[in-house]
Structure formats: C-alpha cells, structure tokens
Amino acid sequence: MDASERLIESTRELLWERGYVGTSPKVIQERAGAGQGSMYHHFRGKSDLARVAIERSAGEVRAEAERRLAAPGPALERIAAYLRREREVLKGCPVGRLTQDPDVMADPVLRAPLGETFDWLRDRLAAVLAEGRDHGEFDAELDPAATAATIVAVLQGGYVLAKAAGDSAEFDRAVTGVLALLRRA
Amino acid sequence: MDASERLIESTRELLWERGYVGTSPKVIQERAGAGQGSMYHHFRGKSDLARVAIERSAGEVRAEAERRLAAPGPALERIAAYLRREREVLKGCPVGRLTQDPDVMADPVLRAPLGETFDWLRDRLAAVLAEGRDHGEFDAELDPAATAATIVAVLQGGYVLAKAAGDSAEFDRAVTGVLALLRRA
C-alpha cells in the first residue's frame, strides 16, 4: 500500500476504534507509518482524510449489504443472510458509531455519508421486502418502508446492546427476534 | 436544589450532551454554579459524580418504562404506549449513548449500569409479551425474550438513525414498523 492508502486505512481503523476526537493527525501518521509531510501532501488535513475514510467505510457497508440482498432466493432468506453475516459486533458499526461523535455530527461534510448510508440501506431493504410481498412471501398489508426502517434499527440497536453487555449474543438475539417476526408477517 | 443535587443534574445533562471525555470537572462546576471545593466535598471526583449521574439516568429510563408497561390494558397497547412516549429523540438515549464513550466503557463501575438497564428492559418487555401471549394476543410460538431484545434494539437503533438523519421521523418509522410486525405475531 502506498502512503495515501495507508493513511486512509489507518484513519478508518482509528475512527472505528476511538472516534474522531480521539484521533489526532499524529496518531494517524504513526499508525500509517507516514510522516506529516506525506499526510499534508495527500490530504488537506485531518478532516479531509476523515471524509475520504468515512466515505470508504460507508461504501463498504453498502457493498456488504448489496452482496447479500442482490443474491438469488426468497426475500426473507436474503435479508436473513444479510442480518446474520459475520460482523465485528463488539467494535460497533463503523458508520453508526460516528453518529455519537459530536465533531463528526457538527461537520456537514463528514456527517452527510451517515444519513445517506442509512437511507440507502432502508430503501434497499424496502425494495427486497416489496419484492417478497409481491411474490406472496409476506401479507399484502406489509409496509416495506416502515419494516425496512425497523430492520436497520435492529442492526444499529443490536450493536448498542452488544456493546453495553460486552457480549455479541445480544446482537444475535435481537436479529433472531426480528427474523421470527418477519417470518410471521 | 442544593449544590450536590445541582452537580448531579449538571453532570447528567453534560454526559447526555457531550459524553464523558468532553465533560471536565470545570465545565460541571460552571454549569452547576458550584465551586471546586463544593464538588470535592460531595464527591470523590469526576468519576464518582459520573457514577451517581449514570445510575440516576438509568433509574429514570427504567421508571419511564415501568410507568407504561405496568399500566392496565392489553400487552401490545402498553408496549405501544412505551415506544411512542415523548422522547428527546435527537439528543439520543441518555443511557445508550454512553456505550459509545470509550472512557465510560473502560471503567467497570461506570459501565455496569448500561448493561443492567438493557437487561432489565428486555426482561420487563419479555414478561409483558409472555403475558400477552398467554392471553391469546400473540400466537403461541412467540419467543418473548428474542422479541423483547428486538424491541429494545429498535429503540436504541431508532435513536441512531434519527441522529444520522437529523430527523426524529426516522425513529418513529422504525417504531411503526415493529408495532405492525407485533400486531401480526
């Protein structure tokens, strides 16, 4: 990896582990094995680098979802595969955790990818749910948009509960519960 | 309010607004209108004060839930009343947001009330769901514990989505979705 790439990946890791405030340019440079000159050659500063890092993390969250949701098979199976995919649950969601970061939320450029990612995810899940409903997997009354919002919330809340308990089983339990509810819908 | 009470309430507000790292003893004293001497007369320091503040916030979260969940009426109505109670959604959950605070999570004493609160909430909701199931409101297959975990996750995730979007409607949408799923269960 070249220095620019190492700086981006180090920033992604640090934002995930420590958040924005706890991530100084110096810590990024140390983790990346890159000097200050290199950092300011490639990026205007910490917030520019954070923007690139957050956009990349948001892109990966979308790509991971798309891989399962675009697969062949019944809607419920695809949604289950997405919810049950391997995750580093106790590290939290690399995108969702940034909503608790006051400096990220105060900066419209850093903040924009967060809302956009969840909007995309909700709309994508709603499309899969509508498809399943049209194929008779769910009853005709199912509201795809509200149900999709519930699923995204279960994921984000599952991370919170797992972190509070120090146990990823809390995430799994919330996912099991929503899948059972969907199976009856 | 006496100084001790003002210090606790100021700490509660500050933890909610800024988190633990962003809340210095000086900022607490300024908000409380109390001097350093007064703070160290009543509390051993910032972490002692934070412990009292977090335990009080956790107690309020439980009391707010109990008020709706212990009310008379069908289980689903009580759960709906709890989910739809007035909340300062965009400020986030005063307990849940602390799970994203590395200093809180690194301290077993500050951290303990978070997991305990969610355990209590899940068990309380599970008891209401089991009651509803036994009264024929839900089908016999309903798993109260997993469903309760889903409901708590929807709340916590709803806060995250609302914050990301800067719009409390995202919270409401996730709640609407889970209530519709429960109505069919």
Size of interface A-B (CB pairs under 8 A): 172
Query: Using the beta-carbon criterion (under 8 Å), do A161 and B152 form an inter-chain contact?
Result: yes
DSSP 3-state of B136: coil
* pLDDT in the model for residue A151: 98
User: Cβ–Cβ of A152/B147 closer than 8 Å?
Assistant: no
Task: Check whether A1 has a pLDDT greater than 90.
Answer: no
Q: Which residue has the tokens 């699923």?
A: A151
> Nearest CA to CA, how far is B57 from chain A (Å)?
15
Contact A149 B173 (CB under 8 A): yes
Distance from the Cα of A86 to chain B's closest Cα (Å) equals: 18
Q: Domain count of chain B?
A: 1
Range of the domain at B77: 3-184
Residue A12 CA, distance from chain mean position: 12
The whole-angstrom distance between B34's CA and the closest CA on chain A is 26
How far apart, in whole angstroms, are the C-alpha atoms of residue B130 and residue B118? 18
Question: Taking CB atoms and an 8 Å limit, are A154 and B155 in contact across chains?
Answer: no
Q: Over the stretch A65-108, which tens digit does the pLDDT of each residue have?
A: 999 999 999 999 999 999 999 999 999 999 998 998 888 999 99
* pLDDT at residue A18 greater than cutoff 90: no
pLDDT tens for A108-149 read 999 999 999 999 999 999 999 999 999 999 999 999 999 999
Q: Which residues of A touch B155 (CB under 8 A)?
A: 153, 157
- CATH code where residue B44 lies: 1.10.357.10
Tell me the residue length of chain A. 185
CA-based radius of gyration for chain A: 18
Distance CA B87, CA A65 (A): 31
pLDDT in tens, chain B (185 residues): 899 999 999 999 999 888 888 899 999 999 999 999 999 999 999 999 999 999 999 999 999 999 999 999 999 999 999 999 999 999 999 999 899 888 899 999 999 999 999 999 999 999 999 999 999 999 999 999 999 999 999 999 999 999 999 999 999 999 999 999 999 98
Please report, for residues A106, A154, B147, the alpha-carbon distance to residue A170 in angstroms, rounded to integers and kept in the order given. 31, 11, 12
Which DSSP letter does residue A96 get? G
| Chain A residue numbers touching B150 (CB-CB < 8 A) | 154, 174, 177-178, 181
Q: Which amino acid type is present at position A114?
A: L
- Alpha-carbon torsion (A125, A57, A92, B59), positive or negative: negative
